[in-house]
Structure 1
């Protein structure tokens, strides 16, 4: 094969993986296997009351933090039993003695499988990252992507300051609004249809061209095994973290208002009430990313 043909087949291996990925992510209700993310927001302090005067601000309850944990993403690795190498299973090449020789599994890994994994875990999403995942802020997937679930894997919420007022005291403590929701999508692939199919040595020592279905089947089995179970450092893994690995998609940002609380009062006859409501500007607390790695 020429260098260009090797690249064509490597890209085809990426497509084959995308058609049947062996490392999959799913959206679950809770207890996902990937790390949990925390959404934090401010809620009002409890109301203070007096029959004679407004409670002093120094004595009223301060706004507090509400934390919601999102552990909605689970990873699963398929168990794969690929076709064993019999010595003539794989395509042939011309060796240093100018003879035809069947590639062994180590050759296949070095030439096709491992380069395909490198493409699959790339930070630049394209047809060669088929079968891998990304995060966006839209429940509707972009072209060439499929929605894993309509359920958000994370939502950034903040106190809705417009819902708190002096007239409403005692206000409900926690009155949030959703700022941004984040969704999981999987990349679809493109069948690159290489120009030429490779040849192999038959049981009678003849040279024969692979049918596309046969060579595609072999590559599908072995790229699935490599991605899911490789012991050579080419197993695909995902994390949700603040560092490490290659980021995929939009960063998931937890924000919270930074105010110390707005002291408000309400009087009705001899009923004096005071409450501190959320206020301030939004500040970033934590930034999470979906990250893809090879291990």
Structure 2
């Protein structure tokens, strides 16, 4: 890993909620050095399409972008994403294409058509007590990277779970539509190999960044400037410049951008010991999970 490979560090707190524009989307960027990360378009209420357009038209060429979503679904445990479905895709790129294709008529990069699809729906836990026959019961299926997160003290949710305030299933599926529309113009690590230059996108889990800043896994959310500045200081960053109450999406994005700047040049994080070529191409990985 070239220590000067990246010069901009972007963290995107993402949302799978219904509708066009979302308070839950925040985009923050840090640059080399110790200056505080800043919000990108701070007064803007982002849509998912806005984020896609920004990535394709305004992203610095030396940016590492972390998106807080699951870039794929469990595969290794069953040898397939969707057991029993003949059209189950063979890898992450094909999964993204399938989700985007089936949801072509869903506006705002939403995914209602996919989670209601007669074959796909059998694998998801949905609202209204609707649990597909192939969901698996309990907490559902997990990726290898999520098992690694658990060993670190995190409590990830299955991407097949679409129920509850902390679920990440819809965020992940809407994110897959964005990833498909990037059309490989920005490589998505580790599904795509890490190129020697140019921007790279990866999956992040903001709890990992918060833990690195000294916060407990169960108390990772920050909602005021004092807590954010304490986390930024622990990550080698100048204070945010904000005061008073902040929303957790803003805090997550700013702290995680500072964390990415601090750890992006650590070669160990780019070569987790359980990350095989097959897992990379099917399940992907969460940057920072070891």
Write 1 or 2 for the structure with the bigger share of helix. 2
TM-score (normalizing by structure 1): 0.21
Q: Computing the radius of gyration over CA atoms, which structure comes out larger, 1 or 2? A: 1
TM-score (normalizing by structure 2): 0.21
